[in-house]
């Protein structure tokens, strides 16, 4: 089964696994803190274990992380020094679909037109789903946007994507989703809403995540890629 991963979780772990080998036991040339870019202390125990990933960060970052968490605004991974400065080492042989907090396909919204329901949608939108978490499980309703875009292969990929998405531990409940939003997702003006994006073989996917209780909590929009269009 195809997997979905949230960027840059595995990249951080992989980079740390390599950095950690320099502590043997103490580092003569310590690696840079993944969070701020300053050198770590040469003695591993003088650094701090991050609360958000199983990686060591410098002592100053450990303190800062505790403060940021206390006010509910952790430093998003996308702003970590190793991510911003592209120091991450990607895992080898990885063909998972990556959820990212950056949209690579905003141009598709420029040619939005009114669909059957009078809703403005990019003309490449095949369908979207709307889900809510009732405290025990997810409930999903589907809306077809442009019926003529449907093919068996595309529908199969959408099913695969949704199965992989709900298999993520971060989607186990509204609480885990909320934690994921704070550290991985793209924020919006509304603190209870955020975005994630994904490029699959056939689609650009936009996930709108809403962390309010007793509301719709997730919309997933599927836009057929240009290279896929008939
Ligand atoms: Zn640091």
Q: How far is the CA of 42 from the centre of ligand 1 (A)?
A: 13
Together in a domain, 152 and 38: no
- Asked if residue 14 belongs to a domain, the reply is yes
Q: How far is the CA of 41 from the centre of ligand 1 (A)?
A: 10
**Structural domain boundaries enclosing 89:** 7-94
pLDDT at 110: 83
pLDDT at 229: 63
Pick the closest to residue 96 from 198, 185, 206 (CA basis): 198
CB atoms under 10 Å from CB of 44, counted, come to 17
Q: How far is the CA of 44 from the centre of ligand 1 (A)?
A: 13
- Per-residue pLDDT of 6-35, as tens digits, reads 999 999 999 999 999 999 889 999 999 999
Pick the closest to residue 27 from 49, 45, 12, 11 (CA basis): 45
Q: How far is the CA of 150 from the centre of ligand 1 (A)?
A: 48
Q: How far is the CA of 36 from the centre of ligand 1 (A)?
A: 4
- Asked if residue 2 belongs to a domain, the reply is no
Q: How far is the CA of 90 from the centre of ligand 1 (A)?
A: 21
- Asked if residue 1 belongs to a domain, the reply is no
Last residue of a domain, one of 54, 74, 94: 94
- HSE, CB side, 13 Å, CA atoms: give it for residue 19: 25
Together in a domain, 90 and 190: no
Q: What is the pTM of this model?
A: 0.92
pLDDT at 226: 83
- Are the CB atoms for 108 and 124 separated by under 8 Å? yes
- Are the CB atoms for 60 and 42 separated by under 8 Å? no
- Asked if residue 158 belongs to a domain, the reply is yes
Q: Rounded mean pLDDT of 204-220?
A: 97
Distance CA 210, CA 131 (A): 10
What percent of the chain is predicted at pLDDT more than 90? 85
In the chain, the number of structural domains is 2
Q: How far is the CA of 83 from the centre of ligand 1 (A)?
A: 13
């Amino acid at each position: 089964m195809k997997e979905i991963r949230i960027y840059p979780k595995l990249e951080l772990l992989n980079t740390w696994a390599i950095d950690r080998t320099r502590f043997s036991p103490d580092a003569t040339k310590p690696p840079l803190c993944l969070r701020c870019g300053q050198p770590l202390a040469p003695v591993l125990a003088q650094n701090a274990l991050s609360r958000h990933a199983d990686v060591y960060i410098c002592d100053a970052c450990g303190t800062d992380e505790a403060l940021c968490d206390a006010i509910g605004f952790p430093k998003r991974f996308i702003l970590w020094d190793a991510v911003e400065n592209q120091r991450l080492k990607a895992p080898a042989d990885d063909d998972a679909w990556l959820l990212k907090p950056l949209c690579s396909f905003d141009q598709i919204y420029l040619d939005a037109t009114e669909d059957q329901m009078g809703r403005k949608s990019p003309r490449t939108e095949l369908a979207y789903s709307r889900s809510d978490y009732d405290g025990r499980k997810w409930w999903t309703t589907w809306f077809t946007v442009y019926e003529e875009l449907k093919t068996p292969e595309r529908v199969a990929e959408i099913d695969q994507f949704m199965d992989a998405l709900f298999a993520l531990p971060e989607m186990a409940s509204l609480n885990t989703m909320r934690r994921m939003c704070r550290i991985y997702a793209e924020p919006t003006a509304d603190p209870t809403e955020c975005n994630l994006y994904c490029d699959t073989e056939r689609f650009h996917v936009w996930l709108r995540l809403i962390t309010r209780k007793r509301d719709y909590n997730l919309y997933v929009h599927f836009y057929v890629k240009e290279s896929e269009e008939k």
